[in-house]
């Protein structure tokens, strides 16, 4: 069983994804934005972080930058609706900043569970 930190500002999506992650056998900590997510990480760590990119307060790009400074770097899955900024899609930027995997919203929860299973041991799919 892995410790998964889920950072997503959409309450409905966060609730659904957290339930699926827990059903897959993992422990889930939820955060509603990047600032809260980083605070949770600093307090309790995680084996894997799933983070939205576009969020209030601290965006997912900042979360990824911070997590890359951890030793060893934490495996991350970046999720986003894909929007475009000056440097290309958000997920392209996330990958360039070290996201282990990226998922374009909307996706079935099973896709996230499969990605988690690839990156951390201990769950059941």
8 A C-beta contact, residue 120 and residue 48: yes
CB atoms within 10 A of CB 44: 11
In the chain, where are the structural domains located?
35-46+56-125
What's the number of CA atoms in the CB half-sphere (13 Å) around residue 97?
23
- pLDDT, tens digit, for every residue of 100-110? 999 998 899 99
8 A C-beta contact, residue 7 and residue 51: yes
Question: What CATH code is assigned to 35-46+56-125?
Answer: 3.40.50.2300
DSSP state of 73: P
- State the Cα–Cα distance between residues 29 and 54, nearest whole angstrom: 19
- pLDDT, tens digit, for every residue of 58-88? 999 999 999 998 888 899 999 998 665 544 4
pLDDT of residue 125: 43
pTM of the model: 0.91
């Amino acid at each position: 069983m892995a410790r998964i930190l889920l950072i997503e500002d959409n309450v409905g999506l966060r609730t659904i994804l957290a339930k699926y992650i827990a059903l897959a056998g993992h422990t889930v900590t939820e955060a509603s934005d990047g600032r809260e997510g980083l605070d949770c990480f600093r307090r309790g760590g995680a084996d894997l972080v799933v983070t939205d990119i576009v969020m209030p307060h601290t965006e997912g790009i900042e979360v990824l930058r911070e997590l890359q400074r951890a030793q060893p770097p934490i495996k991350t899955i970046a999720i986003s609706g894909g929007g475009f900024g000056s440097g290309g899609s958000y997920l392209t930027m996330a990958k360039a900043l070290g996201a282990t995997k990226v998922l374009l919203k909307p996706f079935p929860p099973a896709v996230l569970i499969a990605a988690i299973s690839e990156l951390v041991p201990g769950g059941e799919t």
